[in-house]
Amino acid sequence: MLTTQAKIAEQIVLRLNQDNSDSSVDDREIMLSVHQVIAVWIRNQLYRTKGDEAQEVDGAFYYTIDDVPVLKNRKGKYYAVMPSTSVSLAFGVDIKRVGTDNGIGFVPVQNGFNDLFAGLASSSLEGQIGYFKAGANLEFANMTGSNNPKTVNIEMLIPFDSLDEDDQINIPADVLSDVMDNVYEKYSQSLKKPLDEVNNNIEN
């Protein structure tokens, strides 16, 4: 269902306030917890389907970040700064596509491809451009001054850092319900007042 990060946080805070009249929880703190719970849900779902032929993440969680600048470092290698943090997954599905507006998609390659395959015929990738993640950057293989675009589009898994709190996001209704319940329970427990302790040293 379509919603926004702000609306999700607002609903959770409303529930918390109804049950805890003196609660004071920051909406942004709630949104961060929502991000974390969604990331855990996606990771668990992926591992549950490990080995399935159709193993994949629900397409609703992918968003395209357009016009990410392509830069060149002092060694002449091309790269782009990742527009957002992503979910850490072992199957390389946190980035679905990197490419240009004209429909040309790049090829995912092994981390450090430029160094591992330097001088080998396979480094040409048959004329295609490759990419791999290196820290906070996306580095490109077989990109030269004659084929480098000025910008690329990156389709990423829940890139919340690049989405405004009022941007619409699409989250399956059942997942959203589970996420909201999980975050609510987390904060509800922390807001509960501890029982008064009896001081045995008080004189009657």
The residues spanned by each domain of the chain are 2-55+172-191, 62-160
Nearest-angstrom CA–CA distance, 42 and 171: 11
At residue 36, the pLDDT reads: 87
Tokens of 167: 């941007």
pTM here is 0.77
At residue 80, the pLDDT reads: 97
Cβ neighbours of 31 (radius 10 Å): 20
Q: Across the beta sheet with 78-81, what order do the strands follow?
A: 71-72, 78-81, 137-141, 130-134, 107-108
Rounded to a whole number, what is the distance in angstroms from the first to the last CA of the chain?
61
Nearest-angstrom CA–CA distance, 10 and 100: 37
Spell out, as residue ranges, where the chain has pLDDT lower than 70: 21-23, 49-56, 90-92, 116-124, 191-204
At residue 82, the pLDDT reads: 93
